[in-house]
Amino acid sequence: MKRFLSNRTDTGGSSPRKKNKLDVDKTAEEADYDSDATEIIDDDTLEEQPNRTHNVKGASSTTCSSVPIYIDSRIYLTKVRDLPAQKNVWSKSLEQIFHFGDLACMLQLNYMVELSWMMNHLPEKSRSIPITFVHGLRALSREGLRVEAIQFPNVKIINPDLPIAYGTHHTKAMFLFYKDDTMRVIIHTANMISRDWRNKTQGIWMSPILQRKAPSTTISDFEVDLLAYIKAYGHPLREWHEKLSLYDFSTCNAVIIASVPGRHVGKGLRRWGHLRLRSVLDEVTIGEQCQSKSIVVGQFSSIGSLGTSDEWLTQEFGASLSASRNLAECRPPSIRLVFPTVENVRSSLEGWAAGNSIPFDSKNWAKQQHYMRPRMCIWRADAAGRDRAMPHIKTFTRLSEDGDIAWFLLTSANLSKAAWGSLEKNAKQLMIRSYELGVLVYPELFKMSGVNNIAMRNVSSEVAPFLDLTLNGRGPDNMQRPVIIPLRLPYDLPLTPYGPNDEAWTWDLKRTQLDSCGMTKE
């Protein structure tokens, strides 16, 4: 039995599973699923084994120049507590993140926080380090955090200004500084609360270990964009801005896509929100596999008030999602929306309780379902290994039906105008309510001198353990070898559209049917 670099599944049980371009001659049952053995190779390991690339069984029958190099995208899922080890390949826990190095200080950006819980997950020797936590809690929750923080004199709490009503500080990121003068950036989708790190599907982008700049270091685009975002917080984060500016971000193969609250005009019009995404995608060449037919998949855990027509979704936001450098050569992609159904939530690991983290108002669904339902797809993630772990992850990606990925965005931003912005004043002003942060990756970012054959492809949890990754494929022996960036999408392909009996999850209605935990929802 062969495994393929794809997570295509049968839509109705009658059609055979489609083979993809890469195969692995080893079954999942044969694998050693020790959680440490199936982790992505860490930086230190790679330094010790610089020539390690991949270990696909059967490759010996091919020429060396045709054997792919698999490059780490640096995008992972979080570990899910109640799933078996084989479903948690290429996944990270909070403990792992906090234990990567000897911490000196850290900056945390998030919406919700359980401070004592977070402190208990830090290494004991790191619990007294200087910590700044920027959060989005309000009213009684904000006051509760202030009181809780009294017991941690090393923790500084900041609640940023939100100049426009109904905005949120929704960004989720960590800036971890180590005692050896290195640092790491983590951009992710989980609140810093216990339930978000237990049985939900979450995503993480993790930078390489970053060194301080040498005198000759050239400032990278990643640094420019990240520092612009931190600067937007103003004086409260000035010292962190200065500290970050000392580091070299040139090894970060990703593009910052951020939102900052305000009404943006002039040169700032395309700096934030969906117009920032559009300006970046305007410079991205869509590969041949996605030119004739592709889809843009939006996957999220919350839906805002988008209006009674599809104007914002398909024309304004849709124009940003469809942008590319070679627009004239590409057929417009169709937009698909992956969002849990009522049955997805009921049968999940958490039951109805999972729905508390998937806010969607029934009144908005009633107004919007006539144009949203034809695009909606259920949360199906069997091959992805996350079928019963409800999504709090947010992703947007353009890809072919075969799993060739033109670009992939991991972000804190849900499907809402508050997060992405809406155009005003004849499209001369973009109004954004919330702080958001994400990273965009696409094949060209991983391009190496002399290598033309590079692709980004979806990989299932079944195949992931058999792919040994490297952080880069540079070297004279690799010049003619194809480069593949495997990326584990959180959902299955092909997508499964809503059926006539499928109902989008809405969190404000009673549910009398018993869930997987034997509970009802009042």
Binding-site residue ranges for substrate: 172, 394
Contact in structure between 492 and 498 (CB atoms under 8 Å):
no
Q: Which residues are annotated as a binding site?
A: 172, 394
Of 395, 397, 399, 431, which is closest to residue 413 (Cα–Cα)?
395
| Cα-to-chain-centroid distance, residue 18 | 26
- Specify the DSSP element, H or E, that contains 291: helix 288-291
Separation CA 409–CA 226 (nearest Å): 16
At 219, the amino acid letter reads I
CA atoms within 13 A on the CB side of 498: 23
> What residues are labeled active site?
170, 392
Instruction: To the nearest 10°, report the CA torsion of 110, 116, 122, 125.
Output: 130
Q: Transcribe 352-410 into DSSP letters.
A: GGGGGGS---HHHHHHHHHHHGGGEE----TTTT-TTS-B---EEEEE-TTSBEEEEEE
At 331, the amino acid letter reads R
Query: How far, CA to CA in Å, does 9 sit from each of 13, 18, 145, 391, 465?
Result: 9, 8, 45, 19, 19
Per DSSP, 508 falls in state T
431: left (phi over 0), alpha (psi -120 to 50) or beta: beta
List all residues 6 or more positions away from 76 whose beta carbon is below 8 Å from its beta carbon: 40, 90, 91, 92, 203, 204, 205, 206, 488
Of 163, 207, 159, which is closest to residue 183 (Cα–Cα)?
207
